[in-house]
């Protein structure tokens, strides 16, 4: 395997150091390293982070390869600085058996650009009625530890309780899509003044908060691990803060788009801004940023949701929910959290690498950059900006809400297990060593 000498980058944004990569691991970190056998890369002005880990990605394969494949999402992930992706279960067929999660796992290995960790469905067919093959998926070669019906809420409290009980025996976690279905029938956007003006059926904050409140109490009763997907409301933040103060085993995520975008964008009737859960108010956005900064929200997860142009370039009511985000995630966090002073780079590493890997029990990821650790590495130059162009994304889909945005922070290099998967912002195919 090729040796790399990264010169002059700031490890976690601290002091400038050289970093030597050899045999898939970090061999040395020092003020000055010389190695004539290594490929030298000048990282002056850049920040060196542990490889990013996404705990919430829709890879669409099997079944919707017209929107995305494991291979294309892996390329998009590498471009965004990710070294691990978590494949949500709402594929076709649903990832509710050992056979399907093993298929997704092996597709990730074949692509070879990131580790792909399948997420297993909580219930058969995502219907919320009968538990899936949870134990078989946990025991499979994919070693599934995260289970979610994302796209659907596990709405039945008895089913949710049984799922929380089941995953305790192998230290799993249930990742809940918090959406009370009876309160969101036909909902199109955040319920509020803007939805009333636009004549679009509102999606009330209480629909999210009611499920979060119920499930943290269930998790406390069962003494099991609960993860709340894509938190969007200030009220949800307060419930999670209360639960953590009581010692309940709950973690939570926020998406980059919910840290930046607000429901007023729906005024354009452009369905690029239609997402589940919906964009909320400026008040909610500020509460989410503060919660991410103080640790109430543990991680950033992309909820990368690719869709074909046919399902997005249509009238709002008929359009699919979702937007892509792998390639822009770190820049959005730079804009909303780093430039605002809410997080330093160590905080970014914690929320986009270390903590998501810990929640998912991905033992080979989310490691601090020290001698001997796996060389999963992301390099970002915060002094450089770039303009998002939907025609240049590596995802098969083009549904980015940031087309034309100038964003801070250019991801320039990604190393996956010591192998360069991106150099100078150009993704390198697996066969190149």
CB-based contacts of 424, cutoff 8 Å, min separation 6: 412, 413
DSSP-derived secondary structure for 237-256: HHHHHHHHHTT--EEEEE-H
* Cα distances (Å, whole numbers) of residue 107 to 54, 84, 133, 218, 397: 17, 13, 21, 35, 19
Sign (positive/negative) of CA torsion 64, 66, 72, 73?
negative
8 Å CB contact between 119 and 86: yes
User: Is 220 among the catalytic positions?
Assistant: no
Residue 359: its H or E element: helix 355-360
Point out the catalytic residue in the list 303, 389, 391, 429.
Answer: 303
Question: Would you call 90 helix, strand, or coil by DSSP?
Answer: coil
* Helices then strands, each counted (H, E), the chain: 13, 19
Residue ranges for the known binding site for Zn(2+) are 56, 58, 150, 177, 230, 303
Residue ranges for the known binding site for substrate are 58-60, 90, 276, 307, 321-322
CA–CA dist 62, 168 (Å, integer):
29
Residue ranges for the known binding site are 56, 58-60, 90, 150, 177, 230, 276, 303, 307, 321-322
Strands 377-387 and 47-50: antiparallel
Catalytic residue list: 303
């Amino acid at each position: 395997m090729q040796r790399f000498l990264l010169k002059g980058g700031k490890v976690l944004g601290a002091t400038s150091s050289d970093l030597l990569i050899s045999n898939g691991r970090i061999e040395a970190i020092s003020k000055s390293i010389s190695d004539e056998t290594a490929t030298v890369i000048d990282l002056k002005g850049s920040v060196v982070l542990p490889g990013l880990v996404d705990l919430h990605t829709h890879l669409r394969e099997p079944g919707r390869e017209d929107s995305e494949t494991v291979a294309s999402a892996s390329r998009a992930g590498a471009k965004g600085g990710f070294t691990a992706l978590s494949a949500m279960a709402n594929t076709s067929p649903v990832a509710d058996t050992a056979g399907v999660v093993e298929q997704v796992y092996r597709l990730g290995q074949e692509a070879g650009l990131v580790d792909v960790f399948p997420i297993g469905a909580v219930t058969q067919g995502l219907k919320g009625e009968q538990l899936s093959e949870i134990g078989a998926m946990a025991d499979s070669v994919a070693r599934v530890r995260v289970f979610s019906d994302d796209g659907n809420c596990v709405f039945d409290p008895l089913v949710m309780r049984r799922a929380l009980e089941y995953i305790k025996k192998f230290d799993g976690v249930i990742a809940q899509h918090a959406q009370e279905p009876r309160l969101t029938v036909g909902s199109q956007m955040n319920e509020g003044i803007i939805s009333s003006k636009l004549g679009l059926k509102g999606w009330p904050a209480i629909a999210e908060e009611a499920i979060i409140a119920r499930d943290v109490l269930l998790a406390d009763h069962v003494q099991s691990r609960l993860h709340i997907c894509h938190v969007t409301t200030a009220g949800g933040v307060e419930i999670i803060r209360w639960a953590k103060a009581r010692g309940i085993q709950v973690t939570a995520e926020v998406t980059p788009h919910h840290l930046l975008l607000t429901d007023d964008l729906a005024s354009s009737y452009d369905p690029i801004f239609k997402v589940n859960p919906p964009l909320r108010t400026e008040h909610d956005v500020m509460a989410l940023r503060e919660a991410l900064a103080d640790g109430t929200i543990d991680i950033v997860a992309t909820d990368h949701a690719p869709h074909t142009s046919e399902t997005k370039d249509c009238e709002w009511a008929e359009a699919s929910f979702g937007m892509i985000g792998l390639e822009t995630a770190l820049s959005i966090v730079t804009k909303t959290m780093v430039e605002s002073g809410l997080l330093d780079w160590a905080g970014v590493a914690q929320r986009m690498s270390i903590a998501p890997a810990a929640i998912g029990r991905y033992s080979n990821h989310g490691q601090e950059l020290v001698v001997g650790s796996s060389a999963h590495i992301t390099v970002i130059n915060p002094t450089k900006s770039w303009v998002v162009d939907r025609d240049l994304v590596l995802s098969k889909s083009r549904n980015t809400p940031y087309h034309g945005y100038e964003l801070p922070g250019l991801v320039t290099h990604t190393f996956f297990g010591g192998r360069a998967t991106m150099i100078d912002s150009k993704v390198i195919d697996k066969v190149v060593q």
